[in-house]
Amino acid sequence: RPRLAGLARAVLAQLAALHSPDLLEIVLISADRARSVEERTAEWSWLGWLPHVRPGHGQDCRLLLAYDREQAAARTGELLRRVESHADPASFRPGPDGHPGPYTVVVVDGDPGGSALREDVARLAVSGPRAGVHVVCLAETVPASPASPLMETYEAACAVTPTFRECGAVALLSGDVATALRLMRVAPTGPVGPGTLAAVDAVSP
């Protein structure tokens, strides 16, 4: 868990440093009851210092941080309405000529809970990009080695975080201290090819 949380912090910190709050909004959904709300709140409390988590679209909250299912449903509903009010999907062109911004990164930590909420988050993962909404799912599984079967590790992650299956790309951490990072594209049938293997710094705090 510490390596997964550390990697997520690094990614979000870089995104926040490189993009102003006018261009990037960050939303956290951490409502997985497998971990206590105190533990989840303590782990993500640092996000509260970022101006990127302050509501800028009329959301009914102080910060865009959801630690229970009611908050998660509210944040997800707001984002879905934004996606649905966006231009026709046929007009969406991925790549540099696609959505011009601003953007929203939704961090889904574990299982958001409830079938309806899982379905809504999955819809965000699939349809969100055309409105600049991108979902990042975190799934903590039994430790794996770089030699572990990819599909086995992938399916374990999907079992923990159902939305993981809807993501267009995945990054799998493995190794004794989770320093091996494998990046892969995902098709409807699962990961495509062996992916790209990289190393994660396990020395710096």
Tens-place pLDDT, residues 154-186 = 888 888 888 888 888 888 777 665 577 778 788
- pLDDT per position as a tens digit, 28-66: 999 988 889 999 999 999 999 999 999 888 888 899 999
Q: Which CATH class is domain 2-138?
A: alpha beta
Q: Do 106 and 126 meet the contact criterion of CB atoms below 8 Å apart? A: no
pTM over 0.75: yes
Cβ pair 19, 102 in contact under 8 A:
no
Secondary structure of the chain: what % helix, strand, coil (to 5)? 40, 20, 35
DSSP structural state of residue 147: T
